[in-house]
Every structure is written in structure tokens, then in C-alpha cells.
Amino acid sequence: MKKILVISALFILAVACKKTKFSPEGPTDIRIRNLSDLTFNNVILSTSEYPEDVDTLGTIIHGSESDYYRFKKAYPKAEISATIDIDGSPVIFSTGPVDYTYMQYIGQDMITYEVYISDMANRVLSINNVVLEAPLTLK
């Protein structure tokens, strides 16, 4: 009798379990908004651990934003580097490498990374905010 109760309980637990539905990892359309008062040249954006999720966005003047670029996968943090002219000399600024471990991906959305210079002396860029613009509609 105990065996039947245990087997019945296990069967009910197995049937009652549901898988959580996760949204697809991507693609994600991303643009960068330059919040600083300097122009970002040769902007390079890396959004995930995939080598194909690296793209050059070109030049973003102060106060404006780039076009959208499509990436296979993206996270709330990204590695962004840009060349900025300081007193006529090109200087590379960067957010530094990102550890994507345990980070939740963004999914199929259109987003904007708002980037500014957080430390001029150490040449550090920071992401101020990640703005969700709209869900991505795929055809």
C-alpha cells in the first residue's frame, strides 16, 4: 500500500511540474547614446560572450546616438570602447571587460545604452542607463 502511495505521489509531482518559458536570447537591436560633451570616434561594442557580437558603430557626436545594430545576444552591461580626441591626440576610453556569468540576457528588444565618461584621468566610460525602446518585431 505504501508503494502505491509513493508511486502515485511521484507521478502527480512529475505531471504537475511545468517548464518555465523563457524568451529567446535574441536578437537584440542596440544603439548607443553619447551623454558626454565630447565626440566618440571608432566606437566598438561587444554585447556578449559570442565573438560575432562585436561591431564597430563609427562616430557618435556628443548628445546624439548611433543607428541600431543587431546583435545575437545582449546583456544590461557591455564592453564599449571609443577613441576620443583630447588636445588633438586620439585617446582610447573603455568600459573595460564584462563578466557575463549569471547575468540575464535582454532578449528580443530594441535598447539604447546611455554612455558617458565617468573618469577622464583613467579613460573610463560607463553605461548610465539601459533604455528599453520597444519590443523587437521579427518578420
Establish if 64 belongs to a structural domain: yes
- List pLDDT tens digits, range 11-52: 676 666 655 445 688 899 999 999 999 999 999 999 998 888
User: Is there a domain that residue 12 lies in?
Assistant: no
The pLDDT of residue 3 is above 80: no
Is 48 part of any domain?
Answer: yes
Q: Name, in order, each residue with C-beta under 8 angstroms of 80's C-beta and a sequence gap of 6 or more.
A: 32, 43, 44, 45, 46, 94, 95, 113, 115, 125, 127
Mean pLDDT of all residues belonging to the chain = 89
pTM for the full model?
Answer: 0.81
Number of domains the chain is built from: 1
- Structural domain of residue 42, as residue ranges? 23-135
pLDDT tens-digit series, residues 112-131: 999 999 999 999 999 999 99
Does the structure show a pLDDT above 90 at 64?
yes
For residue 8, is it within any domain? Answer: no
Looking up residue 104, the CATH number of its domain turns out to be 2.60.40.2890
